[in-house]
Each structure stands twice: as structure tokens, then as C-alpha cells.
Chains A and B, each alone.
Chain A
Amino acid sequence: MFVRGLKRKCIDGEEDIEGTLAGIKAIPSYNLQRQSLLDMSLVKLQLCHMLVEPNLCRSVLIANTVRQIQEEMTQDGTWQMINTQSTGQTSLDRLVSTDILCRSSREQAEGKQVPGYSNFNKDFEDDQTQDSSETMSTASSVQAPRNLQSNVWEMENPQENRGNFQKSLDQIFETLENKSPNSVEDLFSEVDNSYYDLDTMLTGMMSNTKMGHCDGLETFSSPATTTSNSNCKSDLNELDHIVEILVES
């Protein structure tokens, strides 16, 4: 079902993607495969948070994987340009999903109520009503708060910051506990599932002895070099933030 040996071409990658999409719908492009790997990793990290004392080695490895993917996506501009494809809706979901942990602490710092997952769901619904022309501007506006929030970190006392994170995390845990396991699925319900089965993925994480459906994803290859730019840096700040929460909680 999945294309094996799909190697990424640096320059004309986009043409390939469009060609692939125009072709057999069931074969995901490299970008979509990479995207689903990113999703999977973020869910794993979030599930890590639900443990009281996560396995540090595992968390670090997953966070590094997320960082790698986001660096590569930033490098070829797909981080902001995903929305030009038909899967525009999903791009914002990704941005929001990594932002959730950052946003709660930022708003905490600004004295607002911590939104928790209930608000996250609401934001989700709001995003879906936007058309693709607006997603560009929304994407950049989501970028801006992230930059603001990194400044907030610098200003604040790190000790206090962690305390805030812990509080906001606790609230997230609480809302998570109150919800059924399906709620995690709901968070990603707008993702186009035709390319992979999220059910399998999520249950697979718990106890799966057989192979999952993502055989095609094994054939990733990413560019050897990564260059950093300002966008990359702000994304890294989020990731640093995630790692910080992981190790401090």
C-alpha cells in the first residue's frame, strides 16, 4: 500500500508531491509520511506527560526526532507552506498541537486562565472554518505568539516558570483524565485519515506485536545538513520547552 524506497528530492519535491496526489490517492507523499511521523511523536510525548516519571532516555530520543523533523520541514519551507496543498487544514493543527504546551504557560505568565484541553478543542473548531487563504496569515500569527513567549521565558525567573509549567501541566493532566481515551483521537479528528489509521497507531503504541500500517515511512531519508534560520529557532524553542517540561515533571 505504501510506496517503498521513496527518496526525497530536495528541489523538485513539491512537484512530486502534487503529482503523487494527483495520482493514486492511496499512496502518501513523503511530506505526508513525515507529517504522520511528527504526529505520532507528538502524541508519544504527550502520553509521556501522563506518566508521573517518564523514561528520560525515551523522551529525549522522541524529542530529538521531533526536532529533526521540524528542522527539515522548516528548511524546505514546508513548515509554513503545507497549507498550499489540499491538506491545508492539517497544517494548522500541527502548529497548534505543539503550541498547546507553550501557550498554557504563556497565558499563565500573563495572568490568564490556563485553557486546558477544553479550549484546545474549541480552537480546533475555529481553525476549521478558515479557508486556505487565511491560514497563511494565521500561521504567521501563531508564529508571533511563540516568539513572544520565548521572550517571556527570558524575562521570567526560570524557577517560577517551571512552577507555572507544572501547574499548567497538572491542569492538562486533570482534563485529560476526565476525558475518555477517545478524546485524544478527537483532537486529531480533522486530520485526513485516508493515509493511515490513527486507531491502529494509538493502540499500537500500547501493545502491538505486529507491524503497523506505516511500512512506507521506514524509507525516510533526510538531508545531511541542516541550516538554522530564525523560524527554525523559534520552533526549536518550543521543542526545548517540551523537553524542559519532560525533564522537570
Chain B
Amino acid sequence: LLGAGGGNDIQWCFSQVKGAVDDDVAEDKLLSELQYRKLKTGMRTAAKSGLSLSENKTQSHSRGEYNVYSTFQSHEPEFDYLKSLEIEEKINKIRWLPQKNAAQFLLSTNDKTIKLWKISERDKRPEGYNLKEEDGRYRDPTTVTTLRVPVFRPMDLMVEASPRRIFANAHTYHINSISINSDYETYLSADDLRINLWHLEITDRSFNIVDIKPANMEELTEVITAAEFHPNSCNTFVYSSSKGTIRLCDMRASALCDRHSKLFEEPEDPSNRSFFSEIISSISDVKFSHSGRYMMTRDYLSVKIWDLNMENRPVETYQVHEYLRSKLCSLYENDCIFDKFECCWNGSDIVMTGSYNNFFRMFDRNTKRDITLEASRENNKPRTVLKPRKVCASGKRKKDEISVDSLDFNKKILHTAWHPKENIIAVATTNNLYIFQDKMN
């Protein structure tokens, strides 16, 4: 599927870019999250301060463009009086709910509070009231001489976002994940030390299902980094840690799932051991495949695919940017080693993740091929096929290769998303959103 040529290969083309042109952008416009809506054509991006929806205005046979559909402020900055500190409005995660009726629902969270938003469209309005004018003023009753039935007439599309639930005060530490259960009634939220289970209808109560806070905080050596519900089993979820482990828990086993059902951990490679081993093993993202048979984890240098039936090692490991292994000290110095990259699936076959220098990588599990592409404004023309990029790790640099020392570590792609049905991907750089599509034949 991947490659620059060939009959069945995807040829990725630039489609669109949204966001500021210059690199210097206000802090509050930084992209912090990216999610495709399941089974629909919409896509949503969360900017640091607000929340912005982009909807694909598809006509029946053409690949539509993504335009901004709705922008609203999801969270406001708050002040925690007890700790005397400000809680940022920056959105950490958003998750769509499956659509039940005409309206769409999504959960968005900042460090402390989760909100359920209802997004509804209005594209018609009733006209022809008997007692009211079009602008709403009441008519003089003496002028009413006929009776008519109001009818719906089309109007300009209006998108309304209204907060439906606010789930607050359940997290002492910073929320890093939310995940909706396959029962579509409950969801989990995870912070550094605890995971809570909520019912979407109930905001004043949540159940604590994982608590790894030690009695003595001096003994703290490990934190929760991500959590996700299994896509099919509503009693199963996983959470990853800063030590590179993933624990699978069954909520039927006990109320507090401190004892894992399965522990996924790869033994350390002694030849690669260094003082940075633990940091680079810290898992920044965990995602189940659509079938639920596999899960993917992202650590600093690699993407690993795990079979849920095998705990002692992953079934596949893909190196994202192995050339950085010799630079770990510098990356520790400039804090890049703590960057949290996400990863995403295309079904169960291709996985995608970001890197530095605005590069992003795709790995095809079937053909074992991989490709590196760049999100940059230089390939600005639509339908321009993206040229594969290559980083020269050492030795003589070939033409068109980039040496490791020339990489821009400020340009990082942390969030990527794949359209659930089509070969359209969204890639978020620091302050721009890029859409790429498969070149249509």
C-alpha cells in the first residue's frame, strides 16, 4: 500500500493546510489534539484555547475540502483557589461519541475537567407564523385576517455547540486520557496516578478503578501515561506507564482494578542500556486496532504492535527515528526526550505516527514497507504527490537526504489522524493542520 509508485500504492498528495503562515504563533493557537469522527466525514481539531471543528463539505463524487465548521470555546482558564494556581484551558484530549441522532456529541478535557458537548446543525427555520413577524415581534392582532400553517424553509447553516455535562473535581493530577466505552454509556478518564469511570449521564459521581498512588509519595517511581477501553469488550481496558508497561484490566474482577489481568512488557535489550533507557521506554500513546485483537504503543523511538494474547513481547516493532538514539543526551538536555507522540491505525494494516522536522511516518504491517513524508507549505499545490524523505544517520549524505544535525526539533508532529473510511489523513504541526489525500486515478 505504501510507496512512491506501483499500481496499488497510495500516493499521498497535498490537499489543504490551515493555520497561520508564519512560524511565530501565539501560544493559544497551538494545536493540541486531532480526531476524526467515526463513520462520518467530519474532523475536529482542538486548538489550545478553543475547539474548532472542520467539516468536509462533500458533494457526492468529489473529494470535498475541509472548511471550518464550527469554533467554540470548550474550556476557560480557571483558578484553583486551594492550590493557588491557574488551570490552563488547553485541551488535552477530545473524543467523539457515536452518533445517535441528528446531533453530534463529543467529550473534551483539559487538565482537570471533562465536558460533554452537543453540536447540532440548523439549516431550516419555520416561517410564516400567524401571530409573529419574521423578526419575532408580535403582530397587531387586528391585522391578522387569514390563517396559515408555518413551513420550514432553508436557511444558512448554523452550527450550535452547547455544553451538556461537566464532569469536574475528580482528578487531583493532570488528565492525560479519556476513552469512551463500547457500551456508549460510560467512559474513563485517566490522570498521572488514577483512572476514573464515569457514566455519561451522571456528573456528580465517578468510580475510581485504578489508583497507583503510593501511600508514601516518596516512593513514586511510575505514572500512568495513557488509557483506553477495548473497542469490543466493555469490561476491558488498558493503561500504559512511564516505565514502558501496559496493563490490561478486567472490571469484572474487582471494583478497584489495581491487579492487572495481563501485563505487557518487553524485556530490556542489555546492549542498548543507558541512563535514558527508562525515559525512552515511557509510553506516550496506546491505541487498540479496530478489531481489538492488537494494540499499538508509542514510545520515544518506536511503535510496537502487541497481540493481546502475548504478554512477553510485541509481535512487531517499528523504528520511527532510530537515528536519534545516539543523540539522547542532547534531546534530554533540550527536553525533546519528553515529547509525547501519538500514533494511529488505518484499520489493522497501516500505522502512522509523527516525528521531528515536520516528518511523519507510516508503516505497512503487511508489506513491511515504510515511508517518511513531510508536512510543509513548500508542497503547496493540491495534487502534488509528496516526495518521500530520508534522514541520513551517519556517513556520507546522499542527495535529498537530510542529516540528523539539520533536523528542526521545534517542528514536531505529535498528532495524526486517519479518516475512518477513506485514504485521507490529517497531520498537525505546531500551529498548522495539513490534510493529505490519496491521488485519485
What residues make up the interface of A, taking CB atoms closer than 8 Å to B? 4, 34, 37, 40, 52-53, 55-58, 60-61, 63-65, 68-69, 158, 201, 204-205, 207-212, 214-222, 224, 240-241, 243-244, 247-248
Contact = CB atoms under 8 A, between A and B. Distances in A.
Given A211-B330, A212-B333, A56 B218 contact: no
A208 B334 contact: yes
A59 to B, nearest CB: 9
Contacts of A214: 329-330, 333
Interface string B386-410: 0000000000000000000100111
B276 interface: yes
B338 A61 contact: yes
A247 B220 contact: yes
Interface string B75-105: 0000000011100000000000000000000
Given A68-B275, A218-B329, A209 B410 contact: yes
Given A40-B332, A224-B273, A218 B327 contact: yes
Nearest to A72: B275
Contacts of A55: 174, 338
A211 B242 contact: no
Most interface-central of A53, A61, A204, A222 (chain B CB within 10 A): A61
Interface stretch (B119-127, B221-229, B345-353): B221-229
Given A56-B174, A209-B410, A61 B278 contact: yes
A201 B74 CA distance: 38
Contact of B275 (A65, A204, A205): A65
Contacts of B146: none
B422 interface: no
Nearest to B219: A240
A247 B212 CA distance: 14
Contacts of A217: 329
What's the dominant secondary structure at chain B's contact region?
loop
Nearest to B225: A57
B270 interface: yes
Nearest to B408: A209
B166 interface: no
Contact of A60 (B223, B275, B327, B328): B223
A163 to B, nearest CB: 14
Contact of A240 (B218, B242, B329, B332): B218
A121 to B, nearest CB: 25
B355 to A, nearest CB: 14
Contacts of A58: 335, 338
Given A69-B275, A208-B333, 13 more contacts: A40-B332, A56-B192, A204-B334, A205-B334, A207-B410, A211-B327, A214-B330, A218-B274, A218-B325, A220-B276, A221-B274, A222-B273, A247-B220
B217 A247 contact: yes
5 interchain residue pairs of minimum CB distance: A240-B218, A217-B329, A208-B334, A244-B218, A211-B330
Most interface-central of B193, B276, B408, B410 (chain A CB within 10 A): B276
Nearest to B405: A211
A209 B225 CA distance: 25
Given A53-B85, A57-B242, A212-B329, A222 B275 contact: yes
B326 interface: yes
Contacts of B85: 52-53
